[in-house]
Amino acid sequence: MVMGLLAKLLLTKQLQFKDGLISLKDLTMTLLPSVFIGELTEYFVNQKKIPKLYMLSWFWGFILVKKVKEDFKLKTPEDVYTLGMDLGEALGIGLYKTHDYYPGRYTHFVITNNPYLKYLSAKKYKGHKVDHFISGCMAGGGCLVHNSVCQNIETKCKMAGDEVCDFLTGTEKELKTRKLWDEVYKLYNLKKLYPLQKEVFETHNKNNETELLTKIMDTL
């Protein structure tokens, strides 16, 4: 599926590697080594600033999926979700398997070969769920699938001894129904972040990205 997507994008020149740039239509991209995300995660965990990592990756995921949706003129939640998850695999964020999916409410998926965990101290983080970067990205991108501000929670993690890393992206209503909202709210300090996320969701455009990012950094 992913190789087919990449081949199609390359053949139609929607994806190009040229002049030192990787371009997906009008969106330029870079490939980051997994060790960078691992080091970034370790830094924010050690600094006790997990909400900052989550919010920055949430913003990144939101912008990426919104631009992909606009550039490819995707109309349905299914189209956005499918291309978004395939793109995530193509970018090297692991092999995804969707368990359950309900547009407007939630997405439940697992990653079977999480690329970042090997760069975290197995001894230090043993027993902990640590994929805050992935959670943020998937929550931000999920907003464009479910047409609502979304959060993501990792319910299982290989670092915690589970066989897979298991994630749920959902709206506030869905997470409250599943009795997961309080955990997400506390872990990611949504008292501060949620108003910012709503502002991004409701007002973001290409002209105010810097202003919104500045506000996020100042708040955190």
Q: What is the per-residue pLDDT for 6?
A: 59
Q: Are residues 73 and 156 in the same domain?
A: yes
Verify that 123 and 142 share a domain, yes or no: yes
CB-CB contact of 220 with 51 (8 Å): yes
- Res 213: pLDDT: 93
Which pLDDT score, from 0 to 100, does residue 8 have?
Answer: 65
By CB atoms closer than 10 A (0-12, 13-18, 19+), residue 201 is: middle
- 26 and 49 inside one domain: no
Same domain (yes/no): 136, 201:
yes
Based on the fold, state whether residues 206 and 191 are members of the same structural domain: yes
- At residue 99, the pLDDT reads 82
Where the chain has pLDDT below 50, the residues are none
Residue 64 and residue 17 share a domain: no
pLDDT of residue 58: 97
Q: How many domains does the chain have?
A: 2
- The enclosing domain of 77 has a CATH number of 3.30.1380.20
Question: pLDDT tens digit string along 182-206?
Answer: 999 999 999 999 999 999 999 999 8
Give the per-residue pLDDT at 147.
Answer: 96
Regarding whether 23 and 59 lie in a shared domain, the answer is no
With vertex at residue 104, the alpha carbon angle to CA 98 and CA 106, rounded to the nearest 5 degrees, is 35
pLDDT value of position 209: 93
127 with 173, same domain: the answer is yes
Q: Residue 9: give the domain boundaries.
A: 1-30
Tokens of 185: 């709210």
Residues 93 and 24 in one domain: no
Question: In Å, how far from its chain's centre is CA 60?
Answer: 7
Same domain, 21 and 72: no
